[in-house]
Amino acid sequence: MKKIFAILIIALLAIRAGAFEKPVDSYYSLNWNISVPIGSFNKWIAPPSFLGFSFSGRYFIADGVGLGFHIGYNNYYEKAPYETYYFYSGAISASHYNYTYMVPFRMDIFYHYKPAGLVTPYIALGIGGDYQENHLLIQEMDIYENTWNFLLSPEIGTLIRFDKGSAWAVRLGVNYTFTTGQINLLNLKNFQHFNFNIGVAYTVY
C-alpha cells in the first residue's frame, strides 16, 4: 500500500511539474503608462503625463520569439503663465494651455527569455503609427493641428508571474518612442517621449 501511495505522489508531482513547463502560446496585458516628453516635444509640453493606458497582445512563433500588437492613449497638458499675445488685429492678455492627445498603434517583434518562467525579461521593437491632436487654447480661441505620424519604439521589460506556471503576471516595461509628430505653427518636429508601463498580463498556455 505504501508503494502504491508513493507512486501516486510521484505521478502527481510529475504531472504538476509538466504543467509548469507547458509552452506559452500568447499573453495579453492592460497597462498604465507614465509618459515623459523629451526633445522638441518637451518644448511644447514639459510635465510628464500620468493619463495614459495601453492594451497589447503577444504571440509566440518560436522559442521565446514572437509578434504582437499594441494600442494606447496619452493625454499631455501644460498651463503657461499669464502674458500678452499680440495678433495682427490686436492683443490678448491671458494664460494659455497646451494639450496633446496621442493614440499610438504598432506591431511588435519581441524576444522573451524563458517565456514560462517565474520572471521572464524581454526586449521588443515596435513599428507603427501615431495620431496626434495638438491644441493651443487662449481664452476661447483654440488653435490646433491634427497629424498622422510614423512611430518607432524599442522597449525592455519583464513579466513577473504571481506563481510559477500562473496565468497571471505583473508586467513592467520602459520604452523610448520616436514619432514624426510636429506642430508647424511653432516649427516643432519629431515628438519623442519615454514611457514607463506597469500592468497586469494574462497568459494563454
**Helices (H), ranges, 40-79:** 40-44
Query: 197: which residues sit within 8 A by CB, 6+ positions away?
Result: 31, 32, 33, 34, 54, 157, 171, 172, 173, 174, 175
H or E element at residue 6: helix 2-20
pLDDT of 38 over the 90 cut: yes
Full set of structural domains in the chain with CATH: 25-204 (2.40.160.20)
Q: What distance in Å separates the CA atoms of residue 135 and residue 48, rounded to the nearest whole number?
A: 17
Count other Cβ atoms within 10 Å, centred on residue 151: 21
All three cell numbers of 64: 521565446
The angle at the Cα of 147, spanning 143 to 150, to the nearest 5 degrees, equals 150
| Sign of the four-CA dihedral 16, 65, 157, 41 | negative
H or E element at residue 186: none
pLDDT digits (tens, 9 = 90+) for 83-107: 776 666 666 777 889 999 999 999 9
pLDDT of 163 over the 70 cut: yes
Q: What distance in Å separates the CA atoms of residue 143 and residue 96, rounded to the nearest whole number?
A: 11
Nearest-CA neighbor of 78 among 63, 103, 96? 96
pLDDT digits (tens, 9 = 90+) for 103-130: 999 999 999 999 999 999 999 999 999 9
Q: Model's pTM, two decimal places?
A: 0.81
20 and 164 in contact (C-beta within 8 Å)?
A: yes
